[in-house]
Chains A and B, each alone.
Chain A
Amino acid sequence: MSAFRLALVGAPNSGKSTLFNGLTGGRAKVANYAGVTVERRSGQFTTPAGRSVELIDLPGIYGLSARSLDERIAVDVISGREGIEDAPDALLVLIDAADLRTHLHLALQLKALGRPMLLVLNMIDLAERDGVVIDVAKLEQRLGVPVVTTCATRKAGRVALLARLDELVAARPMNEAANGAIADLRSVQHEARAIAREAILREPAMNKLTRAVDRVVLNPFAGPFVLAGMLFLMFQAVFTWAEVPMTLIESGFGALGAWVSAVLPDGLVKGLIVDGVIAGVGSVVVFLPQIIILFAFILALEASGYMARAAFMMDELMLRVGLNGRAFIPLLSSFACAIPGMMSARTIENENDRLTTILVAPLMTCSARIPVYTLIVAAFIPPRTVGIFNLQGLVMFGLYLAGIVSAVLVAFVLKRTLTRGRPQPLLMEMPTYKLPDPRDFLINLSMRAWAFLRRAGTYIFWVSVGLWFLASYPRSASGIRDTFAGMLGSWLEPLLRPIGFNLEIAIALVPGLAAREVAVGALGTVYALQSTDDTAGLAQALQSAWSLPTALAFLAWYVFAPQCLATLAVARREMNSWRWTAFMVGYLLTMAYVAAGATYWTARWAGL
């Protein structure tokens, strides 16, 4: 017997993915804002009665009209449209118990499809804590479908659900499908309200904590300061809290290099390990603490419910650029990585707005740029105090700002030329604030940290090894220029010389095309080969090898350059167009080249 196919359906942020993870043991991303899940995902589990179930997690929908890409994915699966897959055997419909009244009409619309369904009032614990009382038996009787309450985050909260699910699987009661056109939304809504009036016994005003916090956070005067303060704290944390662990990791790798040097006899193996692997991989792994802190902040913001507020704050400014406030969430996620950012743009209804958001997402300073920026800033910018600020911090802030400002400008120009269109409506739910679930938080964070380390251990490892060989042979070479790597790099060099880049940078940029932080590993290997001191870090090597204008030009290049194959692949998939992808690469490379050149020559002219 094939698995029973059960689709999770419900409004955005009603807890579908949390329930999915709870039942299947999956690790789907969960957070507290509408539109976290933007794709179909499935997993298996077995009911207490031993029935095997395929559970399909879907993006949230408010109704069946499906305007945005993520909603279309959900509605297509529910209705089994397009011949891609059959309609599911039953629907598991989730509603946030805290506001049954507002969302009940979706359950009626889904019931009219005629499939067997089980209605789940999720987050019942939070609703009850607020003082909401629901007569579940009454609701069940009036709706004519089984209703169960759950708390998807806890195992005990899912027991009743599983029991009712077995009944559903056994009986498969079909609902009466609406014949002909489904009743118009207005009358469905009125029917839902009538049922809600009977089933909701007590419904106090909204969550008190949320109201109190929003009094400050949504305040038109205080709100922007809260947002700015939050972002400032985040960057401050990334660049100051990480200092101690970073120094530890760096000296750890230095000691490891020195120890290996002392133990191994001179020769090929020693060179490969010390100058290739330890210098290359080590110079990237050093940045792990910063990556962890950044992701911790972004995950906490996402889980708390603040993300939608940030989008609300920015909506007016986004409107003036020509974008939707909703685009702010993808752009803010792009500070971690542009890939999830581009995918979450699926929640933007208007195709042109979605396209524009994807096109500018790579301008947001992603976490892979942190190693590059930190390395260069620490090596070249003196830690002087300017007013109340640290000069290094100011330069770092300037780099982030340069990315944001250019994203705004590019979006502004695009919306008036290539992706023209009327401003689109914003309709966005702002969730009740919740404390992040510690388990989810730690799982998400460790997945991010692991992904970073895995890349350092695989891709960067092999690049370091490969580059070490290319930059060490032929043995007769008197300097890096005569090695294979030097020969390859010298083809690119004439192109990069006008913007102040030297041969070593040209060599590092080639593997660095695959991912930004790889260039740091590559520079680590290239300069380790040229140095005699195995404990000196990459920063010292760069200080003696690069002029300040070159360093600044390198930073400017990294604000724009599209050096991430994974991002380009996802951009192509999400835009479903090679032409737009080529356009994106083209405009980013042009901006990178021009910005690096302008920076280099301005700095030279200023006598830096």
Chain B
Amino acid sequence: MKLTDLPTGRKARVSKIVLESTGLETKLREVGFSEGDEVEMLAHGPFGGRTLAVRLNRSIIALRGAEAAMIEVEEIS
């Protein structure tokens, strides 16, 4: 599933970063997203919630739905 579909409070592993635009992929990777990393949905932003707060390993990253949709994850049950 996409990172955007991960419900609040659930954990997952990054399985793939979709190659849609190389510029964006570089940005996501530089900030730290990589295959196998653990992510957790911490919160959806207020006023409509398109901005997400995601835990990546031990860091917290804020990103928008458009970017998060490029990250494929597998939920850890």
Contact = CB atoms under 8 A, between A and B. Distances in A.
Main secondary structure, interface of A, reads helix
Given A105-B29, A429-B60, 20 more contacts: A63-B30, A65-B27, A98-B58, A99-B59, A101-B37, A101-B58, A102-B37, A102-B58, A189-B29, A220-B43, A221-B46, A223-B43, A315-B45, A316-B48, A316-B49, A425-B24, A425-B64, A426-B62, A430-B60, A430-B61
B37 A312 contact: no
B28 A427 contact: yes
B58 A312 contact: no
Contact of B30 (A185, A205, A312): A185
Nearest to A203: B58
Contacts of B76: none
28 contacts: A62-B31, A62-B32, A63-B26, A98-B58, A99-B57, A99-B58, A102-B37, A185-B29, A190-B34, A193-B34, A206-B55, A206-B59, A206-B60, A210-B60, A218-B43, A224-B46, A311-B62, A312-B45, A313-B45, A313-B46, A316-B48, A325-B62, A425-B24, A426-B63, A427-B31, A427-B63, A427-B67, A429-B59
Interface string B45-77: 111111101011111111110110000000000
Interface in B7-31: 24, 26-31
Contacts of B34: 105, 186, 189-190, 193
Interface of A: 62-63, 65, 67, 98-99, 101-103, 105-106, 130, 132, 185-186, 189-190, 193, 203, 205-207, 210, 214, 218-221, 223-224, 308, 311-313, 315-317, 319, 325, 425-431
Contacts, number: 127
A317 B45 CA distance: 10
B5 interface: no
Nearest to A308: B62
Contacts of A132: 58
Contacts of A65: 26-27, 30
A428 B50 contact: no
Given A221-B46, A313-B46, A428 B61 contact: yes
Contacts of B27: 62, 65, 67, 425, 427
Nearest to A220: B46
Q: Which 10 A-B pairs have the closest CB atoms?
A: A63-B30, A102-B32, A218-B43, A62-B30, A99-B58, A315-B51, A430-B60, A316-B47, A220-B46, A189-B34
Contacts of A224: 46-47
Contacts of B61: 427-430
B35 A190 contact: yes
A63 B26 CA distance: 9
B29 A206 contact: no
Main secondary structure, interface of B, reads mixed
A316 B45 contact: yes
A498 B30 CA distance: 57
B69 to A, nearest CB: 11
A219 B58 contact: no
Contacts of B66: 425
Contacts of B63: 425-428
Contacts of B28: 427
A214 B59 CA distance: 13
Contacts of B64: 315, 319, 425-426
Contact of B53 (A205, A214, A316): A214
Contacts of B49: 220, 316
B42 interface: yes
Contact of B42 (A67, A101, A186, A218): A218
A468 B77 CA distance: 77
Contacts of B32: 62, 102-103, 105
Nearest to A312: B62
Nearest to B60: A430
A185 B19 CA distance: 13
Contacts of B45: 220, 312-313, 315-316
